[in-house]
Structures are given as structure tokens and as C-alpha cells.
Amino acid sequence: MWKTLKKYRYPYLFISPYFILFLVFQLIPIVWTAYISFTEWNGLKTPKWVGLKNYKLMMNDYMFVDAIRNTFIYWIAGVVGVMSLSLMIAMLLNSKALRMRRFFKTATFLPYVCASVAMGLIFRMLFEENAGLINEIIMLFGGTKVPWLTSSRTARIPVIILFIWRLTPWFTLIILSGLLNISEEYYEAATVDGASGFQRFTRITLPLLGNILFFCFITITVDAWRLFNESYVLCGPGSSNMSLFQLMYRSAFTTFKLGYGSALGVMLILILLVTSVVQFTMRRKIGEV
């Protein structure tokens, strides 16, 4: 082992900053969070060991149940909405019939570079019940005002729309890069064989984009389960649209129950870990078919 380290000391030296940063800013905080989750701590006094008390409290906390349900809905809506819109827009941007392609590519990416908190405030004004633009348009067509952010039934809708709107540009560019790498010869050969547009899409485009779409699926999953800004700025009544990450922040830094907040953080890590393992296992099985 020491001979190997001595032989490759310079390569290890060059990659050591990454491992040092990972150790200091990721591994040690995760271990510390796991320890704090078994204690009662307000951030000032010495942590008091309480065992599984925080986890038992979590199972009886209605806000935790609401946060899990809301985040799951955000995840499903995000995966379906973002991937569908991104694929559709990417195919339009890749179309040879599209004029002013550079302009539309730039315009498509603009929402992603905007600050999510600032856009959340704008969306809050748009979905305001009494003077918001969305309700004004609905009333213009003969509808009635919708209590978007004051009703537990509709409070999740603005959050989902903002989440999809914010992420779609980034994943559009990722999928577009994959489309640009698909050779035109495949489509030309399929056209000669009499394949329809739908057949070319399902038999050529989707299979060749498989790895990229899977990467998008994993990334959207992580983004959805750590969603915070959208639900924080567009907060609804009670915990009607609260995300799990927002509940963790509220428990740790609003009520200063850092032990309970750490337990929520550990639960979030476990959910992401299990979800990722399931996704990679399914991807491997599909690849073996």
C-alpha cells in the first residue's frame, strides 16, 4: 500500500483538495448531523442524548406527514413536467425548420439564471387572490377568483408551476446536447425504410437519449426532495405546501430544535439514498433486457 502511495504520490496530491473539501464540508457534517439527531440541542447548550425520541416524535408529527406527501407530489410533478417540457422544447430547438435558433436558445435559458427567490416573489404577485394577474385572466374569461395561496387545496399548484418553470431550461440544454450528438444517418435510413415520425422518435431518439434522460431523472429527483425556495416564498396555510427541506429548516433555525431538525435531515438522506438505489437498479435491469 505504501509503495503504491509513494509511486502515485503526485496524482494523489493533485486530487487531494477534492477529498479534503469532501471530508470537511460533507462527510464530517453528515456524521455530526447523525449524532445530533439522537440528542436535544438548541445550538447553545451541551447536546443531551435522548436516543430515538426525535424519530418517534417524527412519526407522530402531522407536519412531517404533510411535508412527505407534498414533496412526493413535487417529485412526481417535477419529473413528468420537467422531462416532458424539456424534451419537447429541445426537439423544437433542434428542428431545422426553426428560425432565429440562437435567440430562442438564449430565451429558453433565461429563467434558469434568474434568482429563485426573486422569481418566487414575482410568482406570489401573479397568484395573489385579489389583484394577481392569473385571477384577472380567469375572471376575464368568466371564471371566479381562485385562492391559490390561501387554500390548502390549491397551495401546491403555484409551487409546482414555479419548480417546473425554473428547472426546464437547464434540462432542455442537456437533452438538446444529446440530440445534437445523434447522427442524421439514423433518421435518413429510417425514412428510407418508411418509418413514421412517431416511429423515428420511439425507435431512435428515445433509446439513444436513454442515458441522458436517466441522468435528468436522477437530478430532478434530488432537486425535488431538497426543494426549499419555492415552497418557502409561496408558503400556503399551515403545512399545506411545505416541503420536507423547509420543515427541516423551520425545525432547526426557527424553533431551534436542532436535534429534531437533524433527524429530519437524516430521514431526507435515507429517502434520497433508497430512491437512488431503486432508480439505478431499475436502470440496470432495463439495460440488461
Yes or no: say if 120 and 158 are a contact pair by the CB < 8 Å rule: no
Q: Looking at this protein, which amino acid is placed at residue 275?
A: T
Sign of CA dihedral 161, 166, 172, 174: negative
CA–CA gap between residue 64 and residue 242 (Å, rounded): 9
**289 band by pLDDT with thresholds 50, 70 and 90:** very low
Q: Which of 8, 34, 24 is nearest to 259 (CA)?
A: 34
The terminus-to-terminus CA distance of the chain in angstroms comes to 40
Domain ranges of the chain: 51-288
Note the pLDDT of residue 69: 95
Pick the CATH number of 51-288 from 2.40.110.20, 3.40.50.12160, 1.10.3720.10, 1.20.1340.10: 1.10.3720.10
Q: How confident is the model at residue 35 (pLDDT cuts 50, 70, 90)?
A: very high
Percent share of the chain, pLDDT over 90: 55
**CA-to-CA distance for 277 and 264, rounded, in angstroms?**
20
Please give the Cα distance from 132 to 150 (Å, whole number): 13
pLDDT of the residue at 263 = 95
Dump pLDDT digits (tens) for 165-212: 999 999 999 999 999 888 888 888 888 888 888 888 888 899 899 889
Express each pLDDT in 52-72 by its tens digit.
Answer: 999 999 999 999 999 999 999
Q: Cite the DSSP H helix spans in 37-155.
A: 53-59, 62-93, 101-113, 116-126, 133-140
- 278-286 contacts, C-beta under 8 A, 24 or more apart: 279/214, 279/217, 279/218, 279/221, 283/214
Q: How does residue 160 score in pLDDT terms, banded at 50, 70 and 90?
A: very high
- Say what percent of the chain tops pLDDT 70: 98
Q: Structure pTM?
A: 0.90
pLDDT in tens, 68-112: 999 999 999 999 999 999 999 999 988 877 787 778 888 888 888
pLDDT average, residue stretch 231-256: 92
Q: What is the dihedral of CA 31, 22, 242, 67, to 10 degrees?
A: -50
Q: Identify the pLDDT of residue 10.
A: 78
Distance CA 89, CA 220 (A): 17
